[in-house]
Structure 1
Amino acid sequence: MKGVSCPVYLCLLAILISLSSVKVYSREKINSEEALLRYWNRHLCPPVAAAADEPGGKLSEQALAFVALQARLADSARDTLLLPEYGRLMDELQSGQYNSALAFVQFKTAKLLYSRNKKKEGIELILHTKELLGDQHHAFPGIGSYYAFMGQIYIDNGEADQALDYLQKAVASGFCERIDEYYCWGNIGLTYFNLGNTPKALEASFKALEIIKELKDSAEVVSMLGNIGTIYLKHGDYKSALRFLSLDYEGSVQFKRWESATAVQIMKAKSYMQLGHYDSAGVSLRLADSIAGQCNCVSNGAKKEYYEQLSKWLSQKGNWPEYVKSIDSFIHYSNKLNSEARMTMSNFLGTELKVASNMYEAKMQLVDSERQRQLLVRNLIIVIIVSLLLFVLLIFNSHRKGRKAERKIYELNLENARKQLDNYLENIRTKNQLLEELQGQIERHSSERPADEVQKIDIELASKIEQASLITEEGWQEFTYLVEQVHQHFFTKLNVIFPNLTPAEVRLITLIKLKFSIKESASMLGISADSVRKARYRLRKKLSLEDEISLDEMIYGI
């Protein structure tokens, strides 16, 4: 026994020494922002348990606090109660001027706010993160997830091109979690859908469906099936659309997502009508109306689509009085939807501008503070020299950045005006197209009705057509305001060059400037196409244009 005890004792001693040395070696020192970001990247991307040995260093408390917050966030049903703790951590990082670390915490906080329907606060915070981060992305933990979230923000606010740029960066960078990858591919599908590229939209959406099936999230599987059905509908593959939409409807009912169930039935009705199955379309429309009436949860977009499909179905059935009512409802909800879209875009652009202005002011304050600090540590002669140099530099930078800020404001306002004008013109063209379809329906069905009934319906519908096709004086004022915003000083130049134009001639010239066809101009002005041609001829004479000069090209040049 004595011969064995000595080696065992020595072995135990060696093991203890070894364990002690490992512990000392593994105790990580977090004394810089770079080390802090590396620690978060290891423990949060993907999420893993914290190391057994707590790190040391002056930033170790912040490192552990954020990892613990993220763990509590995953397990908490009332996660918004953690927001004050996020706020305290951000204050600590801001006071230490750890901008990249602050940007990462802001990103996570913005994502939490946005997912919990605090969208305004989430948007403002993530845009502040974008300005704060600048182009310093190399050390940002899980940068792909940040790009994916930025893409979601831009697609939700109607900025498809910018959204696609961020989402493609996200795919190239990789993701912390598979769920982020799913949402990214889903948003890529939605972006391509909005851009009209249905093959790309289908490819991305099927990729998202594959991922979410692996994650076994049944509710999200249902949502993605519906997205694919909607893309097939736009692509013109109505049978495939019905197959996926039916699966979406079954899942929506199972999960009691009544707004989704209503929207699915409306899209099914549209698919059925494209296939000529009007009885099935009627069943879907009645079911959509029934669900919407019970849940009172349908958006203006769904209502617009519902009345558009209902009006087409009623026209096939020859129910003209109800058809007229549905057209009125369609126009009403179209206007509401366009107004909401303009408001959303305006608010988003306003938030972008506000954040950019605040960041600019903060940077200016930082420059001034640094200048004051330097002045205190220099002698009198150096102070005078440096003060003069800094003063010149400050003025130069101030003017340069001021011009840049003014240019950005101008570009944001111009882009907003262009999009509002495009939405306005698209709404007018859609309305005119529906009115032309209505006129065609009247002419086709006139031969199928008794003369006295046709006359009565024609009088009522003619009144509706005339009322809907003409733009009111208030509408013209809004229209000319948007034109002036996009084509600045157009009306002033026109008045200087041709001071004797009548209001009617100014309106005709405005429509030519916007490249309206003769048929579209006739509908806008409430006159016949021949009358528009004659008005154009009289205008040429009045402006004394030579035969080789195009009226359109002359107006485009104003």
Structure 2
Amino acid sequence: MIKERIVFLMLLMFGLQMHYSQDLPEKDKLNPVGTSFLGFKNRLKDAIRKQDTSNIIYNHILLADFYHDLGVTNEAVHHYNEALLFHSKVSDSTHVIILNNLGSINLEADQYAIAKSYLQKSLRLSRTIDFQKGEAVAYASLGAVYEKEGEYDQGLKCQNKSLRLFSALSDYEGLAVVYENIGSIYEDLQQYDKAYTYFKSAYEYFYRVNDDRKISILNNLGDVNRKKGDFEKAFFYTNKAKYEAEQTNNVHQLSSALKDLSKTSKLTGDHLKAFDYLNASIYKYKEEQKLRRIQQMNTLQIVYGVKEREAKIALLTKQNELNRANQRTVVFVIFLVIIIFVIVFFNYRKKKDQRFKIEQYKQQLLKADLDKKIAEEESLQREIQIKTSSLSKYSLHLAHKNKVLSDVSSTLIKLKDRERMFIKPKLEGLIAEIKADIEDEQGWVDFIKYFEQIHPDFFKKIHKVTSGNLSTAEMRLCMLLRLSLTSKEIASVLRITPDSIRIARYRLRKKLLLEKGSNLQNFMLDL
């Protein structure tokens, strides 16, 4: 009976939720709790995709109610908590409804401490926002918790507070639930007359709102009368409950009615009917459980299929994200490699261009240096040619001077004996001066100086290739040969005969250790 009342409370709270969800979109208010699971999931996904917080909360609540009706408590709690998470920063009627639903689910699961925690939070929040209906539901559920714990006084206090609130709101459905709860407490206290009175009031209010929960109240009325010993009334109410359950195809209430009829028949001594009612009750109970299991199995299969599909989609999404990340990484690496290649290529080109420019610059410098050296060499060659020419001219000049002086000297010698005696001393003096001029060594000093400027290493080379020391006359002969003078010209310069030149050349060849057939003048030119 307690569980039945809890189910009634849940349905009542859903009615409150539908009534007080003004903040939710109008189109979603039209969706009943029985809307298919896939519809709930699709709408929730759509709300999440659109980041529509109101619809996210609402569809979480619908899914939680859906799971709760099927007895899948853990999923129901999960979705209520998800709704609460999204709604944690807002204090309104929806927040109160979620807290009340969580309290009722924990009450069903015999988690009384947790149930009281949620319901007390709901009470505080309901008072804060002045939500009387939420407060009334919270008191009704909290009274049911105290009843389960055996604290009947506390339970009655809470139910009476809830009753006053529902009365002020003229809420017949709420009043019916609270009257039923109070009747249940008095039934537990074995105060059957009071229980009967409250159950009667509950029935009247459920009848007014045309709620099928009136069948449960009829069963409660029959149960109370049976416990009082008024079997006639007991049969009356229970048979009426049986009839209503058959008309509405309410298998659960039909099974309860048959079970109560079995108990009443047993007490009246009609054991055969009691047995038949009991068998019929068991049959209906099994039928109810079978239908419920089939419904749960079908729903859980759908849930499992959806979750499996979501898991596959999530896996594929992760794989796609990973693939995209890998692709981005590959593209980034390729791009980086290209950038590095381009940088390296341009650096290489730049360095190559720089090296080329440096080489060009070096070539230009080398060319300029070469041109400079060529110009210097040409200048030097011209200078050498000039000096050589000057030296040759100087040599010829010496030769010519010596010849003239020699001729003059010869002439004067011939004339000195033919002229008069008074000119003889003068002529002899003139001859002496001419001879002194011819034999003057200063001219040769100047000549050697010019020669060394043109051929600076000549004397060193001569000394290296000779077997002994060369005389001054031999050195002069070497210099004149290096200047390409003929033997006749050399004889004139040295004031000796050509035969003497030939003998001097022969002696020089011996000192130079020249082989037979070697040209002395060519040897001098090669030094």
Q: Same fold (TM over 0.5)?
A: no
Superposition TM-score tier, normalisation by shorter sequence: 0.3 to 0.5
User: Greater CA radius of gyration, 1 or 2?
Assistant: 2
TM-score (norm 2): 0.44
TM-score (norm 1): 0.42
